[in-house]
Amino acid sequence: MKHLPSIILYYLVIMPVSMLPFRLMYLLSDFTFFILFYITPYRKKVVMSNLRNSFPEKTEAELKVIMKRFYRHFCDLIFESLKTFTASQNDLLKRVTLENTSLLEEFYKKNKSLILATGHYGNWEWPAITLPYHSSHLATGIYQRLSNQFFDQKLRNTRAKFGMKLMSTREVADFFEAHRNDLCTYGFINDQSPSDPKRGHWMKFLNQDTCVFTGVEKYAQKYDYPVLYGRIVKLKRGHYKLSYELVSDEPRTASPNEITEKCARINEELIRQDPAFWLWTHRRWKHKKM
């Protein structure tokens, strides 16, 4: 069978780990941290390079403290993602504190769809998949399709199990058009590095020339959808707070790249407040400005 190794991994490793109580899961995360940080370092050079370039004012000692805290969080994030396979909605709602959700309802009453932007900060999956609980809109989100069809389907089912409707990155334009008469929230995680830097917007972000996605602004202006930013803060281990901030309620009157830059600035503010909780393992600055 083509997917036999994936099936074995899923049912004999992932599912048993996912069904562990939270306390045991975090003990396993501690063990994984020890392995990844001390025994078989995972992308430590990438992480430290990203931190040095982002915070040139910090000493090596300060950067090492941030890096160590990041790896602890990163291991928690791995196991929290696995927990999502079996966690109930109530399990996650106990661990995601919600603020400013009335903003969504205000626009719902005005018969307006919304674009929700956020970044790879804290735990973005738990707030995202519980969105149908606190929004009257049809909750939708964009995901990157996996080459492994078995895991692609499992992840898709998991992220949609509480009512979220998913679209792959290749389906975004058609999805917006098909649902233009529905009241939707469109979730974007928009701090990845664009595959084609010519299609992005260049700006200073974390002290570096950075190419950023413009998709949020593009679709907001095309369909006249207000934009909110979802601020995610880690309160303590396994507990997060999601609050919404208005970026633009009249996107068609915004100046070029204004929405794009405002979203990036909110993300940057969160990162500067506590750098340990951003996803530093990504090669975010692989593109160089010409």
Tell me if 238 sits within 8 A of 76, measured CB to CB: yes
Task: Report yes or no on whether pTM surpasses 0.85.
Answer: yes
List the chain pLDDT tens, one digit each, 290 residues: 677 889 999 999 999 999 999 999 999 999 999 999 999 889 999 999 999 999 999 999 999 999 999 999 999 999 999 999 999 999 999 999 999 999 999 999 999 999 999 999 999 999 999 999 999 999 999 988 989 999 999 999 999 999 999 999 899 999 999 999 999 999 999 898 888 888 899 999 999 999 999 999 999 999 999 999 999 999 999 999 999 999 999 999 999 999 999 999 999 999 999 999 999 999 889 888 87
SS3 3: coil
Domain ranges in the chain are: 4-83, 89-277
2 in helix, strand or coil?
coil
- What is the SS3 assignment for 279? coil
Q: Collapse the DSSP code of 227 into the 3-class scheme (helix H, G, I; strand E, B; otherwise coil) and give the result.
A: strand
pLDDT tens figures, 122-168: 999 999 999 999 999 999 999 889 899 999 999 999 999 999 999 99
Q: 119 near 278, Cβ under 8 Å?
A: yes
For 196-234, how does the pLDDT look when each residue is reduced to its tens digit (9 = 90+)?
A: 888 899 999 999 999 999 999 999 999 999 999 999 999
Question: What are φ and ψ of residue 253, in 5° steps?
Answer: -95, -5
